[in-house]
């Protein structure tokens, strides 16, 4: 009986796709860090605009058409900025 694992002789999978090479490159990190930073802080700041838009509807009669747009923008910012500082 041998104690060697059948996976021991397998070589690690090498990626040859251009997308995988770019995602590991310096250029990808340079592009993604500012985008994640901005999205992270946008996800924090955008909810502060909910209350004035809702209050503005009762005072000025405007703003409710922007609320769904703001909500979707907040969800997108949450998803994109999730990886910031991890």
Q: Structure pTM?
A: 0.60
Q: Which residues, at least 6 apart from 84, have a Cβ–Cβ distance to it below 8 Å?
A: 36, 37, 39, 40
d(CA 53, CA 63): 5
Whether 45 contacts 81, CB under 8 Å: no
**Do residues 86 and 59 lie in contact, with contact meaning Cβ atoms separated by under 8 Å?**
no
Q: What are 44-85's pLDDT values in tens digits?
A: 999 998 888 887 766 666 567 788 888 999 999 999 998 777
From CA 49, how far away is CA 66, in angstroms rounded?
10
């Amino acid at each position: 009986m041998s104690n060697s694992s059948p996976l021991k002789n397998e070589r690690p999978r090498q990626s040859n796709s251009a997308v995988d090479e770019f995602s590991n490159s310096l250029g990808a990190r340079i592009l993604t860090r500012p985008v994640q930073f901005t999205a992270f802080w946008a996800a924090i700041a955008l909810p502060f605009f909910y209350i004035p838009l809702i209050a503005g509807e009762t005072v000025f009669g405007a703003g409710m058409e922007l609320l769904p747009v703001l909500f979707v923008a907040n969800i997108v910012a949450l998803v994109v900025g999730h990886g910031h500082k991890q």
